[in-house]
Amino acid sequence: MTSVTPRSTEGDTAPAQPPTAVLTDTRPPTKAATGPGDLPPPRAGIWEALRPLVHRLHFYAGILVGPFLLVAATTGLLYTTTPTLEPIVHGQELFVDEVGPTTFAMDQQVAAARDAHPEGSVVQVRPPATPDRTTRVVLAVDDVPEGYTRTVFVDPYTLEVQGALPTFGEWLPVRAWFDDLHRNLHLGEAGRWYSELAASWLWVVALGGLAMWVARVARTRKARRLVVPEVRARSVRKRVLSWHGAVGTLAIVGLLGLSVTGLTWSERAGANISDVRAALSWGTPQIDTALPDADPSAEVQGGEHDHSGGAGSAATSDDVLTAGLGINGALAVARGEGLRDPLQITPPDGPGQAWTVSEVKRSWPLQQDSVAIDGRSGAVVDQLDFEGYPLPAKLTTMGISLHMGLLFGIWNQLALAALAVGLITLIVLGYRMWWLRRPTRALGRGPGPLPPRGGLRRAPTWLAVAVIALAAGVGWVLPWFGVPLAVFLLVDLLLAARARRRIAA
């Protein structure tokens, strides 16, 4: 829940207070009069100790990270329209004019694509997944942006080339444009910082808001208020807060899922997460394309596919497409092994390498099996079944498909759109509460009352140590969580110093 306003426990009319630090307490302890019968001050409970910290962190993150979350939610909402837009915008390339009685052999279809587009080299071929679709022949060329390829679309019934488009993995231009907008705002690698920052903080803001909302509702003993807004509350702010809390509770699972899956392919956090997965043997298995009698110096392992469906295969000469078994034989062997459409065929990328044929169905149930085929004999030299993936690798694959709106088709896309609208609503309501709490008197011009400081000082020692250690560990894995957290701490200390100077004056 992306609230950007703290809640005072004294009601909606609490007077504004000067901002004070919640993360540290720099005041010297006050020595109270003690005597034989005096007892030490009580230690705060776990939630009582954590609440000021969670409250202040939620407040800062809402104000400073909220705009990044708003941009990510808006661009994500636009992205959910692309599965519908793509067939409309690129229908000429995607669909055949008429479904015929028979199709030409795959090598003939590739030859037709190469006659029309002899530039570059073939790195991938995708047979049509349904009878009304065209065959895709993917070329590695130099005159497209980095990370892109050129895909030629061939009518399998007539060998007519129906067009060629620059593609990012399997994404056609319309989806690739919106994908870039969501990932980096078309600013390149520097633009990816914004989306990583949003993903790194979304789970923190959501969990912190949920904890405070549950605690507030628990005090009222009205459980239905968790998800049912208090629409008849007399206070405007209380109504806004009620909507904010209810929407956030309903969206919490989806928001956490978006945050986790978004982090898996972020630049810095994604690399750290991959290292952790590799250390725990949770990585996605890769098929071995090296032939048994190949020169070890020429071995090249199958590359990791990017999340848009691109392959890690290098460019190869057209001669390999017809040498030995050829593309027709490789496809026949794969179908004989039980692989089903949609398929992706990757030619050998060097001497001593095998053909790779992979299932690329990302909707439920997923089909992700792969085989490596010796182009000389047709023998299967390696086989990788999705059922054999480690559970974390399966969950990662499914989570990414879910994040991209592919796992459950139109229902997945509608759910993502609802989540995006919900997150936008949370942010707007949060800023609305902040505006309602603004000081209107001469007590200051800050953003409203802030929680009292010294929460961690009053907490049990083990809890304070655990919080600091957890923040440090998460900050190391997620740099775009750690750096802003340090900034929040610095701002908090500066506000506390200013408040002390005012009190002294």
Residue range 179-188, pLDDT digits in tens: 999 999 999 8
Q: Do the beta carbons of residue 197 and residue 64 sit within 8 Å?
A: no
pLDDT at 451: 52
- Angle of helix 46-64 relative to helix 461-477, nearest 10 degrees, comes to 30
Between 47 and 472, whose confidence is greater? 472
Digit-coded pLDDT (tens) for 74-125: 999 999 999 999 999 999 999 999 999 999 999 999 999 999 999 999 999 9
Q: Distance between CA atoms of 408 and 401, rounded to whole angstroms? A: 9
Token pair of 152, please?
């030629």
pLDDT at 172 over 80: yes
Model confidence at 318, in pLDDT bands (50, 70, 90)? confident
What percent of the chain is predicted at pLDDT more than 70? 82
Share the mean pLDDT of the chain.
85
Name the residue among 295, 345, 301 with its Cα closest to residue 325: 345
In 3D, which of 247, 237, 238 has the Cα closest to residue 206?
A: 247
3-state secondary structure of 110: helix
- Which of 56-65, 274-283, 385-394 holds the top average pLDDT? 385-394
- In the predicted model, is pLDDT for residue 48 greater than 70? yes
Is the pLDDT confidence value at 314 over 90? no
Burial classification of residue 388, based on how many CB atoms lie within 10 Å of its CB (0-12 exposed, 13-18 middle, 19 or more buried): exposed
pLDDT tens-digit readout, 476-488: 999 999 999 988 8
Q: 229-238, 322-331, 398-407: which has the minimum mean pLDDT?
A: 229-238
Using 50, 70 and 90 to split pLDDT, how confident is the model at 232?
Answer: confident
Asked if the bond preceding 292 is cis, omega within 30° of 0, the reply is: no
Check residue 101 and report its DSSP letter.
Answer: S
Report the C-alpha gap between 317 and 349 in whole angstroms: 8
Q: Exposure of 441 by Cβ count < 10 A (0-12 exposed, 13-18 middle, 19+ buried)?
A: exposed
Q: Which one is predicted more confidently, 405 or 313?
A: 405
- Residue 51's pLDDT is 85
SS3 for 228?
A: coil
Q: CB of 110 within 8 A of CB of 327?
A: yes
Taking the C-alpha atoms of residue 12 and residue 23, their distance in angstroms, rounded to an integer, is: 24
The three-state DSSP-derived secondary structure of 408-423 is: CHHHHHHHHHHHHHHH
Q: How confident is the model at residue 59 (pLDDT cuts 50, 70, 90)?
A: confident
- Whole-prediction pTM: 0.84
Q: Where are the alpha helices (DSSP H) in 117-168?
A: none
pLDDT attached to residue 45: 66
Per-residue tokens: 235: 């206070």
Calculate mean pLDDT across residues 22-39: 43
Tell me if residue 39 falls in helix, strand or coil. coil
The percent of residues above 90 in pLDDT, for the chain, comes to 62
Phi, psi torsion values for 150, nearest 5 degrees: -115, 125
Query: Residue 11: what pLDDT?
Result: 41
Q: What pLDDT, on the 0 to 100 scale, is given for residue 442?
A: 46
Report which residue type is found at 439.
P
Q: What are phi and psi of 58, to 5 degrees?
A: -65, -40
- What average pLDDT score do residues 219-226 get? 89
- pLDDT of 436 higher than 90: no
